């Protein structure tokens, strides 16, 4: 593993990381991925423990962090909704201080973003946002790893996001703008990204040379894009209403929409997916889909986060 490190650092929002730090995470993840495939031991965290707080169900986040910690020689402790005293009124602050004295890092998948912020403020150990109502940085960082593998250097490349403005889009805006990725975002006017997040992303884009385009037209967003990304119609915790479905129906990623992108453009989705809703099955399962490469890369990027931040 290279000498780059983020010892003691939390990752609560994508903008917690600089361009150089994101590139360092990506390169470390690529190195760890190669070591795993070669069967080379990389038990950098022997004797270390990760606490994993889950207020929401999870497949990729839980498995990637738990398996990743095992590969690194450490131990991951699953703490579900009924495993902590939080459901009996113990405060986030008290929970953070207790877990910080037992464990070397905390990953939290929560409903309210403020819960992750409070954990990070009081734990005294690195805290990672495994998903909140506002951001999904661990997924976005893994997506940048996938984009790097498929496209090469990201600066100047174009990612089109088509669908609902949500936590996934927020993280893609911040992480993508930080590394110089051009972002074209097509959302229904009533279901766009949070203006405050867009303002931060625009500031990051000015510093990196990224171009950020917001539109209501999926075809405009996808035109000549290097990658087309979408997410579910309604994320966990969001109201899945008839009005929402009607507004998002024209934003389904179809083969016709993919034909607007570059001939070798890739299709991305963070999963879980509902084929026939946000994306057509022939796109999701077609030759340009990299959805399972994205899922695998959660493991390698999460291992990089752990290896570089745990003291």
The CATH class that applies to domain 14-135+298-309 reads alpha beta
> Please, which pLDDT band fits residue 237 given cuts at 50, 70 and 90?
confident
What's the predicted TM-score (pTM) here? 0.97
> What share of the chain in percent tops pLDDT 90?
94
Taking residues 49-75, what's their average pLDDT? 97
Domain boundaries, the chain: 14-135+298-309, 137-294
pLDDT tens figures, 154-174:
999 999 999 999 999 999 999
Cis bond before residue 278 (omega within 30° of 0) = no
Mean pLDDT of 4-26: 95
Give yes or no for a contact between 154 and 148, defined as CB atoms under 8 angstroms apart: yes
Q: What pLDDT score does 1 carry? A: 57
Residue 22 near residue 52 (C-beta atoms within 8 A) = no
| Residues forming the active site | 109, 136, 139, 231, 270, 298
Asked, colleague to colleague, whether 14-135+298-309 and 137-294 share their fold, the answer is yes
pLDDT in the model for residue 2? 57
pLDDT 10s digits, 18-41:
999 999 999 999 999 999 999 999
**What does CATH list as the number for 137-294?**
3.40.50.1370
Phi, psi dihedral angles at 107 (to 5 degrees): -110, 135
What is the token pair recorded at 237?
């915790």
When pLDDT is cut at 50, 70 and 90, the band that residue 238 belongs to is: confident
Round to whole Å and give the CA distance between 21 and 257. Answer: 34
Average pLDDT over residues 211-219: 98
Give me the torsion for CA of 113, 114, 115, 117, rounded to 10°: 100
Retrieve residue 110's tokens.
């929560």
């Amino acid at each position: 593993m290279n000498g780059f490190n983020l010892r003691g650092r939390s990752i609560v929002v994508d903008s917690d990381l600089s361009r150089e730090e994101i590139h360092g995470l990506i390169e470390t993840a690529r190195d760890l991925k190669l070591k795993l495939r070669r069967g080379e031991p990389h038990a950098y965290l022997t004797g270390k423990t990760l606490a994993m707080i889950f207020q929401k169900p999870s497949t990729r986040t839980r498995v990637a962090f738990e398996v990743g910690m095992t590969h690194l020689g450490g131990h991951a402790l699953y703490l579900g909704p009924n495993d902590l005293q939080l459901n009996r009124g113990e405060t986030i602050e008290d929970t953070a201080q207790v877990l910080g004295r037992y464990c070397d890092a905390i990953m939290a998948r929560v409903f309210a973003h403020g819960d992750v912020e409070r954990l990070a403020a009081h734990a005294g150990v690195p805290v990672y946002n495994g998903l909140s109502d506002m951001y999904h940085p661990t997924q976005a960082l893994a997506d940048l790893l996938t984009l790097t593998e498929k496209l090469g250097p990201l600066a100047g490349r174009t990612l089109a996001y088509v669908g609902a403005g949500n936590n996934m889009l927020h993280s893609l805006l911040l992480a993508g703008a930080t590394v110089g990725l051009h972002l074209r975002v097509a959302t229904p006017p009533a279901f766009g990204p949070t203006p405050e997040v867009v303002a931060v992303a625009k500031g990051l884009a000015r510093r990196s040379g990224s171009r950020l385009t917001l539109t209501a037209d999926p075809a405009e967003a996808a035109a000549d894009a290097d990658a087309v990304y979408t997410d579910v119609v309604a994320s966990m915790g969001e109201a899945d209403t008839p009005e929402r479905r009607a507004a998002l129906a024209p934003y389904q990623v179809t083969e016709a929409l993919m034909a607007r992108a570059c001939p070798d453009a890739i299709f991305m989705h963070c999963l879980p997916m509902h084929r026939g809703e946000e994306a057509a099955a022939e796109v999701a399962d077609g030759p340009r889909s990299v959805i399972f490469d994205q899922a695998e890369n959660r493991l390698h990027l999460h291992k990089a986060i752990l290896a570089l931040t745990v003291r």
